[in-house]
Structures are given as structure tokens and as C-alpha cells.
């Protein structure tokens, strides 16, 4: 059985300011750095062999802190990037026009063909996220990788493992530096292949963490 840990990056300045990031970037806040250290401590003794990360700054910084704790190197994987939010990237959430808010909502409300202009669909996101996860099957026997990615991206990945369409209404909350785990296994009582062991665990954090909409 292959166990793969999934971590969302620590809080960023734009998370705190309610600014849309997508594949744009902003640095971790002091709280985000603290969260990264806490999740690193949580997994320090789990036998992590590979820390694989989205190549955006906020994930790479989170991943480096985890890798230092686990004695691993950081491996960049661009397929783990966040959903491309097109023309809404870098925009303040509360300043969107009515039309822009419609575009944004289509990414989370179950619209099958939702796409922000110049951005990705959830289906396109799901394809590359699943490919990144499946590539872990090629690691040496006995590996235990940890992937660092983003809230929408990881939520989409976990939801599709559960059998939901990529564009399904979002019902999984993954806060900053939450920890999830998926396993690849053969089982008499579960579907063969990828299954979800845990999702969105924040028991290692001693301060409240934000989700994407800061609710």
C-alpha cells in the first residue's frame, strides 16, 4: 500500500486580505510560517521520503519547512499548481463586479462548464492533479511521499477520488496547512486504487486557520 500525505500551503498575505491568488503568488504571513512549522512537526516522524510541491512560492516555502524537518529534498511539480483563475487573479474578493462574481461562483457551485475567462475548468485541474498523484506510483518501493498544493486543487483531487465529478459543488474544507492522506491499495471491502484515509485535519494547529473564503 502506498500512503500519500497532502498538505495545503500556509496562510499568505493575500489569503488574509481576501485577494484571489490562483497561479499568482504572495508570501506567507508570520502565521503561515508558524502553521508550516506545526504541520512539519506533525509529520516529522511519519517516515516521509519525498516532499513534492507545486512550484509556486507559497507552496515551495511551506514544502521547504516540511522537507527540512523530514530530512528530504523538495521536488517541484508544476501539475500541483492551484486552479488558474484567469482574469480574476490578484483581485480583491469583495470588489468583484456582479458578472465577475458569477464567473467565480461557477467554479464552486457545480456548473459543469464553469470557467473564468483566461482560466481553467475544474475538469482540466482534476486531470493534471490526478496525473501528479498517479506519478507517485512510480516512486521506489517503500516510499511515503508528501505533496504540498492548494485549497481548490487538493479539494478537487480528493473529491474526484471519492467519485464526484471535478465540477461538483465544493463541500470539502481544507484550511491552511491542513493535512490529508490518500492511500493506493487493493482491498476486499473498499474500491481498488486510491482511497481517502483522512481529509482536512487541523488538529496539529493551535490557532484557527482560514479556508479560501475566510469563513
Domain assignment present for 210: no
Q: Annotated catalytic, 89?
A: no
pLDDT, mean over the chain: 96
Tell me the sheet residues that pair with 204.
none
Domain assignment present for 190: no
Number of domains, the chain:
1
Domain assignment present for 189: no
Domain assignment present for 208: no
Task: Return the pLDDT at 215.
Answer: 43
Find the CATH number of the domain harbouring 92: 3.40.50.1240
Task: Express each pLDDT in 57-76 by its tens digit.
Answer: 999 999 999 999 999 999 99
DSSP string, the chain: -EEEEEEEPPPBHHHHHTB--TTS--PBPHHHHHHHHHHHHHHTTTT--EEEE-SSHHHHHHHHHHHHHHT--EEE-GGGPPPP-GGGTT-BGGG--HHHHHHHHTTTS--TT---TTS--HHHHHHHHHHHHHGGGGSPTT--EEEEE-HHHHHHHHHHHTT--TTSPP-----TT-EEEEEEE--SSS-SEEEEEEEEE-TT-SS----TT--
Q: Annotated catalytic, 98?
A: no
Domain assignment present for 206: no
Task: Express each pLDDT in 136-150 by its tens digit.
Answer: 999 999 999 999 999
Domain assignment present for 184: no
Task: Express each pLDDT in 144-168 by its tens digit.
Answer: 999 999 999 999 999 999 999 999 9
Least confident of 103-117, 140-154, 164-178, 200-214: 200-214
Residue-number span of the structural domain to which 27 is assigned: 8-179+197-201
Residue ranges for the binding site for substrate?
8-15, 21-22, 58, 60, 82-85, 151-152
Annotated active-site residue in 61, 77, 82, 150: 82
Confidence band for 212, pLDDT divided at 50, 70 and 90: low
Domain assignment present for 3: no
Confidence band for 191, pLDDT divided at 50, 70 and 90: very high
Domain assignment present for 114: yes
> Residues 20-32: what's their mean pLDDT?
97
Residue ranges for the binding site?
8-15, 21-22, 58, 60, 82-85, 151-152
Determine the Cα–Cα distance for residues 115 and 134; give it in Å rounded to an integer: 25
Amino acid at each position: 500500500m502506498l500512503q500519500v500525505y497532502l498538505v495545503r500551503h500556509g496562510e499568505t498575505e493575500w489569503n488574509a486580505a481576501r485577494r484571489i491568488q490562483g497561479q499568482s503568488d504572495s508570501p506567507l504571513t508570520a502565521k503561515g510560517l508558524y502553521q508550516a512549522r506545526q504541520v512539519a512537526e506533525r509529520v516529522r516522524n511519519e517516515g516521509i521520503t519525498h516532499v513534492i510541491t507545486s512550484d509556486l512560492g507559497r507552496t515551495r516555502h511551506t514544502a521547504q519547512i516540511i522537507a527540512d524537518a523530514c530530512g528530504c529534498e523538495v521536488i517541484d511539480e508544476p501539475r500541483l499548481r492551484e486552479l488558474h483563475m484567469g482574469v480574476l487573479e490578484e483581485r480583491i474578493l469583495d470588489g468583484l463586479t456582479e458578472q465577475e462574481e458569477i464567473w467565480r461562483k461557477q467554479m464552486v457551485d457545480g456548473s459543469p462548464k464553469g470557467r473564468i475567462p483566461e482560466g481553467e475548468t475544474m475538469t482540466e485541474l482534476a486531470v493534471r492533479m490526478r496525473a501528479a498523484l498517479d506519478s507517485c506510483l512510480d516512486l521506489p518501493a517503500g516510499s511515503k511521499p508528501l505533496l504540498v498544493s492548494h485549497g481548490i486543487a487538493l479539494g478537487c483531487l480528493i473529491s474526484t477520488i471519492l467519485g464526484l465529478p471535478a465540477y461538483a459543488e465544493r463541500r470539502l474544507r481544507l484550511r491552511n496547512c491542513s493535512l490529508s492522506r490518500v492511500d493506493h491499495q487493493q482491498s476486499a471491502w473498499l474500491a481498488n486504487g486510491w482511497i481517502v484515509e483522512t481529509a482536512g485535519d487541523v488538529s496539529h494547529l493551535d490557532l484557527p486557520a482560514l479556508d479560501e473564503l475566510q469563513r
